[in-house]
Structure 1
Protein backbone atom coordinates (compact mmCIF):
# COMPACT_ATOMS: atom_id res chain seq x y z
CA UNK A 1 0.00 0.00 0.00
CA UNK A 2 1.35 3.45 -0.94
CA UNK A 3 1.93 6.44 1.21
CA UNK A 4 -0.77 9.02 1.79
CA UNK A 5 0.62 12.52 2.20
CA UNK A 6 -0.98 15.53 3.75
CA UNK A 7 -0.17 19.19 3.15
CA UNK A 8 -1.33 21.96 5.46
CA UNK A 9 -1.96 24.99 3.25
CA UNK A 10 -1.78 28.48 4.75
CA UNK A 11 -1.80 32.01 3.44
CA UNK A 12 1.76 33.04 4.28
CA UNK A 13 3.13 36.25 5.79
CA UNK A 14 6.21 38.46 5.70
CA UNK A 15 7.05 37.78 9.34
CA UNK A 16 8.75 34.37 9.64
CA UNK A 17 7.29 33.92 13.15
CA UNK A 18 3.81 33.63 11.61
CA UNK A 19 4.80 30.17 10.37
CA UNK A 20 5.65 28.82 13.85
CA UNK A 21 2.19 27.55 14.87
CA UNK A 22 1.79 25.91 11.45
CA UNK A 23 5.09 24.08 11.95
CA UNK A 24 3.95 22.95 15.42
CA UNK A 25 0.63 21.79 13.97
CA UNK A 26 2.43 19.84 11.22
CA UNK A 27 4.72 18.19 13.78
CA UNK A 28 1.77 17.17 16.00
CA UNK A 29 -0.11 15.84 12.98
CA UNK A 30 2.91 13.89 11.75
CA UNK A 31 3.31 12.29 15.19
CA UNK A 32 -0.39 11.40 15.30
CA UNK A 33 -0.33 9.87 11.78
CA UNK A 34 2.74 7.76 12.42
CA UNK A 35 3.89 5.95 9.28
CA UNK A 36 0.80 6.85 7.20
CA UNK A 37 2.81 9.30 5.11
CA UNK A 38 4.50 12.68 5.21
CA UNK A 39 2.95 15.88 6.51
CA UNK A 40 4.09 19.06 4.83
CA UNK A 41 3.41 22.77 4.80
CA UNK A 42 2.69 25.00 1.82
CA UNK A 43 1.78 28.64 1.46
CA UNK A 44 -0.18 30.73 -1.00
CA UNK A 45 2.24 33.65 -0.94
CA UNK A 46 5.14 35.32 0.84
CA UNK A 47 6.54 32.04 2.23
CA UNK A 48 7.94 28.82 0.88
CA UNK A 49 7.27 26.21 -0.17
CA UNK A 50 4.34 26.95 -2.41
CA UNK A 51 1.77 24.21 -3.02
CA UNK A 52 3.21 22.95 -6.33
CA UNK A 53 6.63 22.51 -4.69
CA UNK A 54 5.15 20.69 -1.68
CA UNK A 55 3.06 18.41 -3.90
CA UNK A 56 6.07 17.64 -6.10
CA UNK A 57 8.13 16.71 -3.03
CA UNK A 58 5.48 14.31 -1.73
CA UNK A 59 4.94 12.82 -5.19
CA UNK A 60 8.70 12.26 -5.49
CA UNK A 61 8.62 10.59 -2.05
CA UNK A 62 6.16 8.01 -3.41
CA UNK A 63 2.82 9.31 -2.16
CA UNK A 64 -0.06 7.85 -4.12
CA UNK A 65 -2.53 10.34 -2.65
CA UNK A 66 -2.23 13.74 -1.01
CA UNK A 67 -4.83 15.58 1.04
CA UNK A 68 -4.51 19.37 1.02
CA UNK A 69 -5.92 20.91 4.19
CA UNK A 70 -6.53 24.67 4.04
CA UNK A 71 -5.61 26.06 7.44
CA UNK A 72 -7.92 29.03 6.94
CA UNK A 73 -10.69 30.10 9.26
CA UNK A 74 -13.27 30.37 6.49
CA UNK A 75 -13.97 29.67 2.84
CA UNK A 76 -12.90 33.05 1.45
CA UNK A 77 -11.75 33.77 -2.08
CA UNK A 78 -8.37 32.10 -1.61
CA UNK A 79 -10.00 28.79 -0.64
CA UNK A 80 -12.92 28.98 -3.08
CA UNK A 81 -11.07 30.39 -6.10
CA UNK A 82 -7.27 30.33 -5.83
CA UNK A 83 -6.78 26.95 -4.17
CA UNK A 84 -8.82 24.90 -6.69
CA UNK A 85 -6.85 26.48 -9.55
CA UNK A 86 -3.53 25.63 -7.91
CA UNK A 87 -4.65 22.08 -7.10
CA UNK A 88 -5.78 21.59 -10.72
CA UNK A 89 -2.31 22.64 -11.93
CA UNK A 90 -0.70 20.26 -9.42
CA UNK A 91 -2.98 17.42 -10.53
CA UNK A 92 -2.07 18.04 -14.18
CA UNK A 93 1.63 17.97 -13.25
CA UNK A 94 1.23 14.74 -11.22
CA UNK A 95 -1.56 12.66 -12.80
CA UNK A 96 -0.33 9.55 -10.98
CA UNK A 97 -1.17 11.09 -7.59
CA UNK A 98 -4.72 11.47 -6.30
CA UNK A 99 -5.10 15.02 -4.93
CA UNK A 100 -7.98 15.96 -2.66
CA UNK A 101 -8.86 19.13 -0.76
CA UNK A 102 -10.51 19.32 2.62
CA UNK A 103 -12.66 22.28 3.61
CA UNK A 104 -11.17 25.18 5.52
CA UNK A 105 -10.42 24.03 9.07
CA UNK A 106 -12.39 26.92 10.58
CA UNK A 107 -15.57 25.66 8.94
CA UNK A 108 -15.59 22.55 11.16
CA UNK A 109 -17.69 22.68 14.34
CA UNK A 110 -15.05 20.77 16.33
CA UNK A 111 -12.50 23.47 15.50
CA UNK A 112 -14.95 26.21 16.46
CA UNK A 113 -15.68 24.36 19.72
CA UNK A 114 -11.93 24.26 20.45
CA UNK A 115 -11.71 28.03 19.85
CA UNK A 116 -14.66 28.57 22.20
CA UNK A 117 -12.87 26.53 24.91
CA UNK A 118 -9.71 28.57 24.35
CA UNK A 119 -11.60 31.87 24.65
CA UNK A 120 -13.35 30.76 27.84
CA UNK A 121 -10.07 29.59 29.35
CA UNK A 122 -8.41 32.89 28.43
CA UNK A 123 -11.25 34.79 30.04
CA UNK A 124 -10.94 32.74 33.25
CA UNK A 125 -7.13 33.04 33.43
CA UNK A 126 -5.74 35.37 36.08
CA UNK A 127 -4.27 38.66 34.87
Structure 2
Protein backbone atom coordinates (compact mmCIF):
# COMPACT_ATOMS: atom_id res chain seq x y z
CA UNK A 1 0.00 0.00 0.00
CA UNK A 2 1.15 3.54 -0.77
CA UNK A 3 0.75 6.42 1.68
CA UNK A 4 1.72 10.07 2.03
CA UNK A 5 3.02 12.27 4.83
CA UNK A 6 2.53 16.03 4.71
CA UNK A 7 5.55 17.34 6.62
CA UNK A 8 5.57 20.83 8.12
CA UNK A 9 7.78 22.84 10.42
CA UNK A 10 5.52 23.13 13.46
CA UNK A 11 4.84 26.08 15.75
CA UNK A 12 3.98 26.88 19.36
CA UNK A 13 0.54 28.25 18.45
CA UNK A 14 -1.80 25.31 17.85
CA UNK A 15 -3.80 27.40 15.36
CA UNK A 16 -0.79 27.32 13.01
CA UNK A 17 -1.61 23.70 12.15
CA UNK A 18 -5.19 24.41 11.03
CA UNK A 19 -4.29 24.74 7.31
CA UNK A 20 -2.36 21.46 7.55
CA UNK A 21 -5.42 19.74 9.01
CA UNK A 22 -7.52 21.16 6.15
CA UNK A 23 -4.89 20.01 3.64
CA UNK A 24 -4.97 16.48 5.05
CA UNK A 25 -8.77 16.57 4.94
CA UNK A 26 -8.71 17.59 1.29
CA UNK A 27 -6.32 14.74 0.56
CA UNK A 28 -8.60 12.24 2.32
CA UNK A 29 -11.68 13.40 0.41
CA UNK A 30 -9.92 13.38 -2.97
CA UNK A 31 -7.75 10.26 -2.49
CA UNK A 32 -9.67 8.04 -0.07
CA UNK A 33 -7.64 4.93 -0.97
CA UNK A 34 -4.28 6.46 -0.05
CA UNK A 35 -3.71 7.10 3.66
CA UNK A 36 -2.26 10.45 4.75
CA UNK A 37 -0.65 11.58 7.97
CA UNK A 38 0.67 14.93 9.07
CA UNK A 39 4.12 15.20 10.63
CA UNK A 40 6.09 18.10 12.06
CA UNK A 41 9.75 18.89 12.45
CA UNK A 42 9.40 20.48 15.87
CA UNK A 43 7.01 21.88 18.48
CA UNK A 44 4.03 19.79 17.25
CA UNK A 45 3.04 16.18 17.03
CA UNK A 46 3.19 13.77 15.41
CA UNK A 47 6.87 13.64 14.56
CA UNK A 48 8.03 12.16 11.28
CA UNK A 49 8.90 8.93 13.08
CA UNK A 50 5.43 8.73 14.66
CA UNK A 51 3.73 9.35 11.31
CA UNK A 52 5.80 6.67 9.58
CA UNK A 53 5.01 4.25 12.41
CA UNK A 54 1.27 4.95 12.12
CA UNK A 55 1.26 4.37 8.37
CA UNK A 56 3.45 1.27 8.64
CA UNK A 57 0.98 -0.11 11.19
CA UNK A 58 -1.77 0.33 8.57
CA UNK A 59 0.29 -1.73 6.12
CA UNK A 60 1.97 1.01 4.10
CA UNK A 61 4.98 -0.29 2.19
CA UNK A 62 5.78 2.89 0.26
CA UNK A 63 5.53 6.33 1.86
CA UNK A 64 6.13 9.62 0.09
CA UNK A 65 6.94 12.57 2.33
CA UNK A 66 5.85 15.95 0.98
CA UNK A 67 7.62 18.86 2.72
CA UNK A 68 5.02 21.59 3.03
CA UNK A 69 7.70 24.27 3.15
CA UNK A 70 7.99 27.26 0.89
CA UNK A 71 11.66 26.73 0.08
CA UNK A 72 14.73 24.58 0.65
CA UNK A 73 16.19 26.21 3.77
CA UNK A 74 18.48 24.68 6.36
CA UNK A 75 15.77 22.49 7.84
CA UNK A 76 15.15 20.77 4.53
CA UNK A 77 18.80 20.63 3.53
CA UNK A 78 20.12 19.36 6.86
CA UNK A 79 17.53 18.25 9.43
CA UNK A 80 15.01 16.60 7.14
CA UNK A 81 17.42 14.23 5.31
CA UNK A 82 18.79 13.07 8.67
CA UNK A 83 15.28 12.40 10.01
CA UNK A 84 14.32 10.57 6.84
CA UNK A 85 17.47 8.43 7.06
CA UNK A 86 16.75 7.58 10.71
CA UNK A 87 13.19 6.57 9.83
CA UNK A 88 14.37 4.41 6.92
CA UNK A 89 16.83 2.64 9.24
CA UNK A 90 14.06 2.01 11.76
CA UNK A 91 11.34 0.97 9.31
CA UNK A 92 13.23 -1.28 6.92
CA UNK A 93 10.08 -2.87 5.48
CA UNK A 94 8.89 0.54 4.25
CA UNK A 95 10.33 2.45 1.29
CA UNK A 96 10.53 6.16 2.09
CA UNK A 97 10.90 8.87 -0.52
CA UNK A 98 10.52 12.63 -0.50
CA UNK A 99 9.45 15.32 -2.92
CA UNK A 100 11.00 18.77 -3.12
CA UNK A 101 9.40 21.48 -0.98
CA UNK A 102 5.93 22.37 -2.25
CA UNK A 103 7.09 25.97 -2.76
CA UNK A 104 9.54 24.75 -5.39
CA UNK A 105 6.65 23.65 -7.63
CA UNK A 106 5.61 26.09 -10.36
CA UNK A 107 1.92 25.17 -9.99
CA UNK A 108 2.04 26.07 -6.28
CA UNK A 109 3.73 29.38 -7.06
CA UNK A 110 1.14 30.08 -9.75
CA UNK A 111 -1.67 29.35 -7.27
CA UNK A 112 -0.19 32.02 -4.98
CA UNK A 113 0.01 34.51 -7.84
CA UNK A 114 -3.61 33.72 -8.72
CA UNK A 115 -4.62 34.18 -5.07
CA UNK A 116 -2.97 37.60 -5.05
CA UNK A 117 -4.62 38.57 -8.31
CA UNK A 118 -8.05 37.65 -6.93
CA UNK A 119 -7.37 39.93 -3.96
CA UNK A 120 -7.03 43.01 -6.19
TM-score bucket of the superposed structures, by smaller chain: over 0.9
Q: Does 1:96 align with 2:96?
A: no
TM-score normalized by the length of structure 2: 0.98
**Separation in 2, partners of 1:16, 1:40:** 17
- Structure 1 segments, 4+ long, off by >6 Å, are none
Unaligned runs of 5+ in 1: none
Partner in structure 1 of residue 70 of structure 2: 73
- Cα shift at 1:34: 2.0
Q: CA deviation at 1:32?
A: 1.3
Which is higher, the Rg of structure 1 or of structure 2? 1
SS in structure 2 at match of 1:66: strand
CA distance in 1, matches of 2:25, 2:108: 18
2:119 aligned with 1:122 = yes
Aligned residues: 120
Match of 2:82 among 85, 89, 104: 85
Alignment match, 1:108: 105
1:10 corresponding residue in structure 2: 8
* Residue in structure 1 matched with residue 44 of structure 2 by the alignment: 47
Segments of structure 2 that go 5 or more residues without pairing to the other structure are none
Aligned-pair distance for 1:74? 0.3
Q: Deviations over 1:50-92 (max 9, x none)?
A: 1001001101110010000000000111111111100000000
The normalised TM-score by structure 1 is: 0.92
